[in-house]
Amino acid sequence: MPLDRRKFLQTTTAALASGTLLRAGHAGANSPVEGPLRVAVLGSGLRGQNHIRVLLTQPEVKVTAIADIDPEMVRRTHEVFDEAGRERPIVYDRGPEDYRRLLTEATIDAVIIATPWRWHTVMAVAALRAGKYTGMEVAGAFSVDECWELVRAQEESDTHLFFLENVCYRRDVMAVLSMARQGVFGELLHLEGGYQHDLRAVKFNDGKQPYGGGVEFGEKAFHEARWRTQNSVHRNGDLYPTHGLGPAANLLNINRGNRFVGISSMATKARGLHKYVMDQAGPDHPNAGVEFKLGDVVTSMLSTQNGEVVVLHHDTNSPRPYSLGFRVQGTNGIWMDVNDSIHIAGESPEHQWEPAATWLQRYDHPYWRAEGELAEGAGHGGMDYFLIKDFVRVARAGIAPPIDVYDAATWLAVTPLSEQSVATGGTLQAFPDFTRGRWMDRPADFATAEW
């Protein structure tokens, strides 16, 4: 018999409120953790050490194990524990695959993966299948199949993956998200972001020269140069998309009422890295003969189901100041982080920019308003503090994270899709729907997550 429309709407609304409608993935069978959250860190390089420092400041957390094949990084990690007055972890260092022994033997509830890029997915899949709440560091995928593998691993497990995109927790980014949720920009139309960072001194570094980005000393660059540079030799696309894409995806409710449907990418010629080698070391240096594939500037345009456009930039081979290049533009105004400026119709002087600081302070996200002072010094301007605190919160509760496996697969897929588009002259690539249609009714909202 035909269903009364009003009754249908009432039934559907009740189902949404109770969470009984189908959502992406299952809720997971994880139970809340009683007692300290026991965490293992796979990869105790400088990024892993940073996570450990923050974890050790969190109440009810114990870092009980690490996996790393670099004796020097293990030594430095031990120093981190000693400085914090905490018991040293068990070390799994019998080769690159020894993390599998950790997942089998170590008494842990959760895992954080902070290894070089190519290990992220394989380790995450193993951790998920072992039933561990999994935090995975960012990069770009090596194939679309890899993204699907990550999704399947979670859907077939009883736990969750938290994609550790720290820029989503940056103070201005979260304030702008609050502004957008409250309609300050009107209806969103056009967003930009990217990874625009002079990494030449990272990709070629002997461990003695200062790091080109001014973040750490030369040893950080030397550590990354062991693996990062090879990607610039062999690949041409947006190799590191998620810092720019994550905040944009949250603003546009991607995978939660909206989705990406297509991407087109183009790359300039590759000149910057060769020029840097020639300028620094001359034509007789072994790297002078290397042919680099990565274009100096890679630009991608992504279209969405709801009619917005996102532009991403990848620019790591040329001299330039660091910038993620955020731009948020709607029917009522625009914010840009490059010049820390904003313009809101009816509020700002006509046809003029005004400093964004007053607006950002007014809409400061509750996370930062409550604990901004505690976050200082935690890494990357404090956003790592909130990232790890959220990881601990959801892992202890055994609940879905604010940035989940479907976000991870979607954001990671930009890299292989951009590579394919660049290789074929910028042709449009269809964007996979990793939620398999569930994006239409997934209700989660990053902005409303609370501790």
**pLDDT tens profile 249-279:** 999 999 999 999 999 999 999 999 999 999 9
* Structure confidence at residue 159 (pLDDT): 96
For residue 329, the cross-strand partners are: 190, 334
State how far the alpha carbon of 412 is from the alpha carbons of 155, 182, 244, 271, 421, in Å: 18, 29, 12, 26, 15
What is the percent of the chain with per-residue pLDDT over 70, rounded to a whole number? 87
The angle, 0 to 180 degrees and rounded to 10, between the axes of the packed helices 144-155 and 414-423 is 160
Q: Is the pLDDT of residue 8 over 60?
A: no
- pLDDT tier for residue 2 given thresholds of 50, 70 and 90: very low
Three-state DSSP at 113 gives strand
> How is residue 274 written in tokens?
């060769």
Which position has the higher pLDDT, 217 or 198? 198
211-244 per-position pLDDT tens digit? 333 333 345 544 566 778 889 999 999 999 999 9
* CA dihedral over 128, 434, 119, 86, signed as positive or negative: negative
Q: Is the pLDDT of residue 289 over 60?
A: yes
Instruction: Name the least confident of 2-6, 17-21, 55-59, 221-225.
Output: 17-21
Asked if 317 and 296 touch (Cβ cutoff 8 Å), the reply is yes
119-165 per-position pLDDT tens digit? 999 999 999 999 999 999 999 999 999 999 999 999 999 999 999 99
Q: What's the topology of domain 170-366+405-448?
A: Dihydrodipicolinate Reductase; domain 2 (3.30.360)
* Structure confidence at residue 225 (pLDDT): 67
Identity of the amino acid at 53 = R
Is pTM beyond 0.75? Reply is yes
For residue 198, the cross-strand partners are: none
38-57 per-position pLDDT tens digit? 999 999 998 999 999 999 99
* Structure confidence at residue 448 (pLDDT): 53
The boundaries of every CATH 3.30.360.10 domain in the chain are 170-366+405-448
Asked if 139 and 146 touch (Cβ cutoff 8 Å), the reply is no
Distance CA 308, CA 192 (A): 11
Q: Is the pLDDT of residue 14 over 70?
A: no
Q: What homologous superfamily does CATH list for 26-167?
A: NAD(P)-binding Rossmann-like Domain (3.40.50.720)
Q: Is the pLDDT of residue 112 over 70?
A: yes
Length of the chain counted residue by residue: 451
Distance CA 301, CA 405 (A): 23
Distance CA 66, CA 89 (A): 6
* Structure confidence at residue 281 (pLDDT): 87
What's the average model confidence in pLDDT over 98-102? 98
* Structure confidence at residue 19 (pLDDT): 30
107 — phi, psi (to 5°)? -85, 95
Distance CA 420, CA 387 (A): 32
What's the average model confidence in pLDDT over 342-351? 97
What's the average model confidence in pLDDT over 13-26? 31
Of 187, 120, 130, 179, the C-alpha closest to 153 is 130
What's the average model confidence in pLDDT over 93-98? 97
The boundaries of every CATH 3.40.50.720 domain in the chain are 26-167
Q: Is the pLDDT of residue 369 over 70?
A: yes
What's the average model confidence in pLDDT over 399-420? 97
Distance CA 25, CA 243 (A): 25
What is the pLDDT of the chain when averaged over all its residues?
88
